[in-house]
Structure 1
């Protein structure tokens, strides 16, 4: 949550208030899910159960 607040401050000029609210901002949630999805792309071709 600290990382998302820092990234929000650096890119948007204001924190996403993840720490203050103890929840992920919608933008932070999108960033987290896209980072997770893109980390699977390089290994997808090596894992047989992703082919279905």
Structure 2
């Protein structure tokens, strides 16, 4: 699969998301077992896109 980035780390950590150029992604999926982290990371991703 080309052009797919998988981030293995704390999804609510802004530094990790910025290192992976979250502002240039077309789609962001938060798929952890922790609903709170999924919500926080989704809000962060939406703010940067």
TM-score by length of 2: 0.30
Bigger helix fraction:
1
TM-score by length of 1: 0.29
More contact order relative to length (CA 8 Å, sep ≥ 6): 2
